[in-house]
């Protein structure tokens, strides 16, 4: 490649970037124990945003104590459930809350990173990406029975830090 080709390539990239650029929208929030709430990420007025993927990392401060057939185990969990929605068109991106552990990549620092989860949604210029969370105890999977009356799941909910990054293309229209 000679200098003229490099100069042309750089000019072409600068021109393309004026109309389409890779962009990240990020948010960190604390999902308070025993509560459900909504957080927002305003989409810039620069232009529409095409979400292509997202990455989530959360803490696992809550505790599940499970007694099954008289044997008790305890483990840290993250029971936060999430739902994403576009404010402009009121379009939810799932029919219900999704447990963060099902869609998070990598979920926590101790887990392997698999890369971003592909997900496509177009947010219009000036829209708001709403993140709804629910950090209340889930329904117990194990419940007391006549044979094992002390069996059951007990959740101790704690605040969880959720960090999320939505990646995609921003299309500047203010040129």
Q: Count up the domains in the chain and report the number.
A: 1
Q: pTM here?
A: 0.84
Give the percent of the chain with pLDDT over 90.
66
Written as six digits, the tokens of 151 are: 């069996």
Per-residue pLDDT of 97-116, as tens digits, reads 999 988 887 666 676 666 78
Residue 5 within any structural domain of the chain? no
158 is in which domain, residue-wise? 33-170
Residue 67 within any structural domain of the chain? yes
The residue among 150 and 17 whose pLDDT is bigger is: 150
Residue 111 within any structural domain of the chain? yes
Residue 98 within any structural domain of the chain? yes
Residue 126 within any structural domain of the chain? yes
Contacts of 96 (CB under 8 A, 6+ apart): 83
Residue 95 within any structural domain of the chain? yes
């Amino acid at each position: 490649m000679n200098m003229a080709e490099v100069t042309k390539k750089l000019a072409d990239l600068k021109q393309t970037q004026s109309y389409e650029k890779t962009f990240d929208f990020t948010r960190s929030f604390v999902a308070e124990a025993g509560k459900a709430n909504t957080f927002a990420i305003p989409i810039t007025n620069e232009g529409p945003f095409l979400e292509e993927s997202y990455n989530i990392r959360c803490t696992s401060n809550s505790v599940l104590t499970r007694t099954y057939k008289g044997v008790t185990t305890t483990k840290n969990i993250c029971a936060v459930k999430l739902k994403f929605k576009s404010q402009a068109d009121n379009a939810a991106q799932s029919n219900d809350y999704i447990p963060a552990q099902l869609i998070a990549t990598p979920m926590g620092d101790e887990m392997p990173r698999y890369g971003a989860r592909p997900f496509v949604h177009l947010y219009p210029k000036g829209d708001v990406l709403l993140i709804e969370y629910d950090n209340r105890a889930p329904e117990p999977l194990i419940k007391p029975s006549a044979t094992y009356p002390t069996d059951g799941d007990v959740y101790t909910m704690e605040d969880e830090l959720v960090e999320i990054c939505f990646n995609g293309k921003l299309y500047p229209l203010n040129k």
